[in-house]
Amino acid sequence: MRKLDIAVVLCAALTLAAVPAAGQSQQKPESSSQAPPPAAAQAKPVPPPAAKLKGAAATQPADPEGAGKTVEEIIARVNNEIITLSEYEKARQSAEEDAKQECQGRCTPEQLQTDIEDRQKNALRELIDQSLLVQRGKDMGMNVEAEVIKQLDQIRIQNKLDSMEALEKAVTSEGLNWEDFKNNIRNHILTQKVISSEVGSHISIGEDEVKKYYEAHKSEYVRPEEVALREIEVSTQGKSPDELPALKKKAETALKRVQDGEDFGEIAKRYSDSSTKEQGGFLGVYKRGELAKELEDKVFSMKRNELTGVLETKQGYLILQVLEHYDEGQQPLDKVRNEISDKLYTTRLEPAMRDYLKTLREQSYVIIKPGYQDIAGPGSSEIQEVSAMPEVSKQKKGHKKFLLFGKKSGPNSDKSSGDTGK
């Protein structure tokens, strides 16, 4: 089987899935530079380890030697769940890759190194946070199987596979465990649903707050003429001439579905090959002179929500939507209302998430092996390695053996490791 294209889902922080991103891609269609986007309404979930299957949240490789032959060091325990050294190292590596991707050409080596170190300090905390959120979702009885199947089907389509069996074969051929692969997607979706239900649903931005912020920050909204763009890109890079008609047809189908009333962001996630697909195709905010002349003439003559046709570029077939067209000068409130609302929402989301996760920690049994840093916790806890506990052994049956640790020494040492405090 041919090697599948790699597209890692990069998720750097915890987020409310229901809020569309206003983030900015590193890429532009034949463009020189890019203005900062509006404030993002979304921070992204904790990144899983890297995967080689396009569109897939990552998972761990299957054990090629069979169960019981690999010993994993456990560095943290969250109730009855464990975090291994290999998971931690993969999270740190993923943090480094994220920093390098976001820094491309815009940071000094010193700035990049500082960013990498800052992200890696958060790696264990984020793994613990993810475990707490997944466990909370299960406690709440959330069922995400329909969403898992939908996500798997999207991955299958993106990789041009004709059946779910073909997808499973492709996953295992990459050295990944199929059940772990599905479970990783399941946990990703479950985390988003918990945040939406438990945190995001309690954040409300009123019209009075938006107006008050606008009046206090009017100078921030005096701008040159700009357009905010979304894209759907069907890549032709590395494709043969014989493949181009089918790729163009794919782009035309995507355009027709948007024209027929389907959401542009959802179609972008399904059809686009660009890295912007995870943000619903959001490309950025552009001033005159920042786009290729042909594209500039087209998009600056368009109004809000208008679509281009299918454009042929060096990268592939491109569809652009003008998400907003800002006239030169003071922007009226109607033009920037969503941007302000997103900014206020984002400002509240992170502290609300930290408060929520603090509560989950207080209700849970979280211990960390000495020498590993969890910046959200009280510091390392003494861990004693003991025989495998039955519930953990059962969960890991058929996979790896683990060096397990037991009760935390100190005043709370009598607290059961399975007690969530609920």
Q: pLDDT tens string for the chain (422 positions)?
A: 334 433 333 233 333 333 333 333 333 333 333 333 333 333 333 333 334 455 554 444 444 444 445 578 999 999 999 999 989 998 899 889 888 888 877 788 899 999 999 999 889 999 999 999 999 999 999 999 999 998 898 788 778 788 999 999 999 998 888 998 998 899 999 999 999 899 999 999 999 999 999 999 999 999 899 999 999 999 998 888 999 999 999 999 999 999 999 999 999 999 998 888 888 999 999 999 998 888 899 999 999 999 999 999 888 999 999 999 999 999 999 989 988 999 999 899 889 999 999 999 999 999 998 888 666 555 444 444 333 333 333 333 333 333 433 333 333 333 333 343 33
Amino acid identity at 17: A
For residue 29, what is the DSSP state?
S
Residues of the chain with CATH 3.10.50.40: 225-327
The CATH architecture assigned to 225-327 reads: Roll (3.10)
The CATH T-level fold of domain 1-223+334-422 is: Triger factor/SurA peptide-binding fold (1.10.4030)
Instruction: Work out the angle at residue 133's Cα, subtended by the Cα atoms of residues 130 and 137, and round it to the nearest 5 degrees.
Output: 140
Task: Give 127-143 pLDDT, tens digit per residue.
Answer: 999 999 999 999 999 99
pTM for the full predicted model: 0.58
Number of continuous H segments (helices) and E segments (strands) in the chain: 12, 11
Q: What is the DSSP string of 380-400?
A: -----EESPPHHHHHHTTTS-
Distance separating alpha carbons of residues 102 and 77, to the nearest angstrom: 31
Strand 401-405 versus strand 71-78 pairing type: parallel
Q: What is the pLDDT of residue 153?
A: 85
In this structure, the strands spanning 282-287 and 226-235 are antiparallel
CA distance 23 to 282: 7
Residue ranges, comma separated, of all CATH 1.10.4030.10 domains in the chain are 1-223+334-422
Amino acid at 411: P
